[in-house]
Amino acid sequence: MTGVLITRCVCRNFPFDELLPLVRSRQWVLEDVVSQTGCGDECGLCRPYLRAMIDTGQTEFHHLLPADPTHSEATDL
């Protein structure tokens, strides 16, 4: 256990386990999540987790993922 637990978009206070049913029922891709919820549109640090959630259905992450290269603010960190 690393002590890391990432379960939400912090900027929008939106839990991944509440986002996933929306993603599945509406067949959203990452760009849809961003435009419809605002998640991933502020600091962008949740983008790699959103992308992984969409791909795998995982809603809890115990490891840090690399910043998403499609979001410039995240790559400046």
Task: List residues near ligand FES by CB under 6 A.
Answer: 9-11, 39-46
CB of 21 to ligand FES, least distance (A): 18
Residue 10 or 29: the one with the smaller Cβ distance to ligand FES is 10
CB of 47 to ligand FES, least distance (A): 7
Residue 10 or 57: the one with the smaller Cβ distance to ligand FES is 10
**Contact assessment for residue 77 and residue 48, using Cβ atoms and an 8 Å cutoff:** no
| DSSP alpha helix (H) spans, the chain | 16-26, 30-37, 47-56, 72-75
Q: Which residues pair with 35 in a beta bridge?
A: none
Which tokens go with 21? 């049913």
